[in-house]
Structure 1
Amino acid sequence: MSASGLPFDDIRDLIANLPSADRAAIRAKREREAQLTKPPGSLGRLEDLSEWVAGWRGSATILRPVVTVFAGTHGVTKQGVSPYPSEVTQQMVTNFASGGAAINQICAAYDLGLKVFDLALDYPTGDISVEPAMDEKTCAATIAYGMEALAGEPDLICLGEMGIGNTTVAAAIYCALFGGDPADWVGPGTGLDDAGLKHKAEVVARAMETHKGHLKDPLEILRRVGGREFAAMVGAILAARTQRVPLVIDGFVATAAAAILHKMEPSALDHCLFAHVSAEPGHIKALSVMDKVPLFALGMRLGEGTGAALAAGIVKAACQCHTGMATFDQAAVSNKAGT
Structure 2
Amino acid sequence: MDAALSTETTNAKTGLKRVFKAFVDVRELTLIVLIVAIIITMSWLSPYFFSAANFRAVAVGMTPNAIIVIGMAILLASGGFDLSVGSVMALSSTVVAMLLLDGMSIPMATVCGILLGAVAGFSNGILVTALGINPLIATLGTMSITRGIALVLTEGFSLSSLPADFAWIGKASLGGFPMLVLLTLFLVVIFDLAVRHTRFFRQVYFIGANEKAAMLSGIHVNRVRIIAYVLTGMLAALAGVLLASRLMSGTPTAGNGIELQVLAAAVIGGASLRGGEGTILGAFLGVVFVALINNSMTMLAVSIYWQMIVIGGVLVSAVALDMLIRGKKG
* Structure whose residues are more often helix by fraction: 2
Highest RCO, 1 vs 2 (Cα 8 Å, sep ≥ 6):
2
Q: TM-score, normalised by structure 2?
A: 0.25
* Structure whose residues are more often strand by fraction: 1
Q: TM-score, normalised by structure 1?
A: 0.24
Between Structure 1 and Structure 2, whose CA radius of gyration is higher? 2
